[in-house]
Amino acid sequence: MKMLENKWALVTGSSRGIGQQIAWGLAGRGCNIIVHGRERQNLDATLAGLKAYPVQTAIATGELASAAGVAQVIEQASAAPGPVDILYNNAAVQARSESILTIDQAEWNRVFQINVWALMALCQAFAPGMRARGYGRIINLTSGIADQPNLAVYSVSKAAVDKYSRDLAAEFKGENVLVNYLDPGWLQTDLGGKNAWFPVETVLPGALVPALLEDNGPTGRFFSAMDFKYLEK
């Protein structure tokens, strides 16, 4: 089994939901984890689960809706015992459901700040170090959402993430900094809701695939966690 021992991963939004599963899944591969959420006390459950694995942990807190909060996340993650080798940009928010004809700019700005600008700032902060060390894995969470115009702010933010991921991958072509984007599937989380198709645990092992790629493996690609739903964890 491929392991990620001695690597450090920052998983944004790992206090609950999909990010929590990813944090635990990466720890199961021996990866050290920087857990992130807005409030320190919300990280206890994830940290308790991580105790089952022989890995180191660190904490980064910060509100991705503000530039100051993003800077705080970068500062705290940079203070972890090891450099960020794997950046899992998982945190995001859903948009307010509203007619595509009347959504105001404030809502576009709110969702884009968290889902797009914060993600890009984290890439800008940590990708240069990956380049210098000749190893990096960046995975950005996207969505398969389609034909829901009332949630256009969210779906367009994810389309921006897809395109940004491909452009960033091109920047690092041949440098072993692999940038990919992953659709987790429609999962039962606070964001996905109770009626979602699958339990959140089914995001593993698929969500680990882009983090486990061999050196100079695929980059700028789309991955679907649900493609691996029936694989052994």
* Binding map of ligand NAP across residues 45-84, x = CB under 6 A, - = no contact: ------------------xxx-------------------
Chain position carrying tokens 């690609």: 221
Among residues 59, 120, 121, 191, the one that binds ligand NAP under rule CB under 6 A? 191
Q: Which is nearer to ligand NAP, 113 or 176 (CB)?
A: 113
| Nearest of 92, 62, 88 to residue 75 by alpha carbon | 62
Residue 196 C-beta: closest distance to ligand NAP, Å = 5
Residue 42 C-beta: closest distance to ligand NAP, Å = 4
90 is an interface residue for ligand NAP by CB under 6 A: yes
Among residues 37, 206, 210, 220, the one that binds ligand NAP under rule CB under 6 A? 37
**Rounded CA separation 92/94 (Å):** 7
**Rounded CA separation 94/23 (Å):** 21
176 is an interface residue for ligand NAP by CB under 6 A: no
Q: Which is nearer to ligand NAP, 176 or 184 (CB)?
A: 184
Among residues 7, 8, 17, 178, the one that binds ligand NAP under rule CB under 6 A? 17
Tell me the window of 9-17, 27-35, 121-129, 172-180 that interacts with ligand NAP (CB under 6 A).
Answer: 9-17
User: For the chain, where are the E strands, in sequence order?
Assistant: 8-11, 32-37, 57-61, 86-89, 136-141, 177-183, 187-188, 198-199, 222-224
206 is an interface residue for ligand NAP by CB under 6 A: no
Q: Which is nearer to ligand NAP, 125 or 176 (CB)?
A: 125
Q: Which is nearer to ligand NAP, 171 or 190 (CB)?
A: 190
Chain position carrying tokens 């659709």: 183
**Rounded CA separation 207/226 (Å):** 9
141 is an interface residue for ligand NAP by CB under 6 A: yes
Among residues 187, 209, 213, 225, the one that binds ligand NAP under rule CB under 6 A? 187
CA distances (Å), origin 224, targets 15, 70, 110, 221: 22, 27, 27, 10
53, 88, 135, 154: the active-site residue: 154
First to last CA, the chain: 11
State whether residue 120 is helix, strand or coil: helix
Known catalytic membership, residue 154: yes
**Rounded CA separation 48/42 (Å):** 11
